[in-house]
Amino acid sequence: MAIIPIYIAPIALISPLGNDLEDHKIALAKNLSGIATQPKVGFGDENWPQAKINTLPEKNRFDHLLNIGLDKIAEKFESSLLEHESTLVIISSTKGNLDLLPLNPFDGIFEMVKTKWNLKHQPILISNACISGVVAIQKAADYLRFQKFHQVIVLGIDVLSDFVTYGFQSLFALSDEPCKPYDHNRKGINLGEAFGAVLLTKDANQSNIVFHQAITSNDANHISGPSRTGEGLYRSIRKLFEVTGVKASDIAFISAHGTATLYNDDMESQAFHRSELTNTPTFSLKGYFGHTLGAAGVIETIASLFCLQDGIAYKSLGFEEEGTTCAMHICRENTKTTSKFALKTASGFGGGNAALLMEIKS
């Protein structure tokens, strides 16, 4: 049976870098960061660098950001498409609206989206730590290939909260300066918040970028620590190459996870080395957006779409000195690319790993 081509297009992006796609395309090309020091956000009133959307209110940030994002998408599509029987919505979020605690933080999300857009189908939620966005995109493609849907909108959203900040602080995973993915002097992550959305469709008129496949694996190492050899991520990449027939030499760039924590960055270097990707231009977007959890896979895929369209790989902000076990080709500046394939990877708590492949058509 022939595989149905699936096309992917960016449709919305909101972060400290801007409120629409063009804002972000300009900011990323200029290597601008949305990270700034936020006062007294730690559990001991410490100051921590974060990528915060300052226009959001302090309370109920999740619902406000979701509403803004939904309105922006509605402006781009006729209501008849959103309301059509062949349209599905998938939401990627690790935490939902934590202001609802101790109640279910995901309560109300489905009804908000379904009612606002008058959807025919109940939205689907993917919450699988920091690989949620990539998993959601893969599930969208599965629904298109094997179900009756003609288009799937994937939303990625998470916001800053005391719950998340205190949690990462208790793990000694926060950096007191802008993060430095893969750098010898990296200290940890900066948290961020964002909303992003992509459209996956069977209609070739909607995009010139093909979504090929995403593969997930679990390294079963530790609830918050990755395999020290990159085994799970390596298996995801290896299987992705097997099922698509693409080789390591075909990849233009890697948009990697790059949290700037000691073990994550090191295991990625080993997984890429084992996958024969040592010389492939690689960058992390955490220095631009911070770590946005459930939104990361979606917004970083959008940035990868920009890179494919413009034939570049972005500078990996914060990188100065090699600091991983295996050598990597980390982009010190925006780098021109010639190949038409992009690899996006993600890793997360619980041992999850994911690798996603896209191709731009000429």
* pLDDT per residue as tens digits for the range 126-135: 999 899 999 9
Six token digits for residue 33 = 């960061």
Cα–Cα nearest to 246, from 277, 218, 267? 277
Measured CA to CA, the distance from residue 299 to residue 197 in angstroms comes to 7
8 A C-beta contact, residue 157 and residue 91 = yes
Asked if 237 and 326 sit in the same domain, the reply is yes
Spans in the chain with pLDDT lower than 70 = 1-2
- Please indicate, yes or no, if residue 320 is contained in any of the structural domains: yes
Asked if 198 and 232 sit in the same domain, the reply is no
| pTM listed for this prediction | 0.95
Total count of domains within the chain:
2
Domain boundary among 186, 204, 222: 204
Asked if 140 and 53 sit in the same domain, the reply is yes
Domain boundary among 184, 204, 224: 204
Q: Where are the beta strands (DSSP E) in 20-158?
A: 36-38, 48-51, 87-92, 124-126, 151-158
Asked if 166 and 266 sit in the same domain, the reply is no
* Helix axes 296-310 and 21-29, enclosed angle (nearest 10): 70
Q: Which domain does 274 fall in, by range?
A: 212-360
The predicted structure's pLDDT at residue 221 = 77
Asked if 109 and 142 sit in the same domain, the reply is yes
- Please indicate, yes or no, if residue 243 is contained in any of the structural domains: yes
Asked if 81 and 159 sit in the same domain, the reply is yes
Asked if 144 and 241 sit in the same domain, the reply is no
Asked if 236 and 181 sit in the same domain, the reply is no
Asked if 176 and 37 sit in the same domain, the reply is yes
H or E segment and range at residue 282: strand 281-284
- Please indicate, yes or no, if residue 269 is contained in any of the structural domains: yes
- Please indicate, yes or no, if residue 143 is contained in any of the structural domains: yes
Measured CA to CA, the distance from residue 22 to residue 32 in angstroms comes to 14
Measured CA to CA, the distance from residue 163 to residue 167 in angstroms comes to 6
Asked if 43 and 178 sit in the same domain, the reply is yes
Domain boundary among 155, 185, 204: 204
Residue type, 48: W
8 A C-beta contact, residue 132 and residue 92 = yes
Asked if 170 and 216 sit in the same domain, the reply is no
Asked if 222 and 118 sit in the same domain, the reply is no
The predicted structure's pLDDT at residue 1 = 39
The predicted structure's pLDDT at residue 254 = 98
Instruction: Write the CATH number for 270.
Output: 3.40.47.10
Point out which residues pair with 197 in neighbouring strands. Answer: 12, 155
Region of 27 (left: φ > 0; alpha: ψ -120 to 50; beta: rest) is alpha
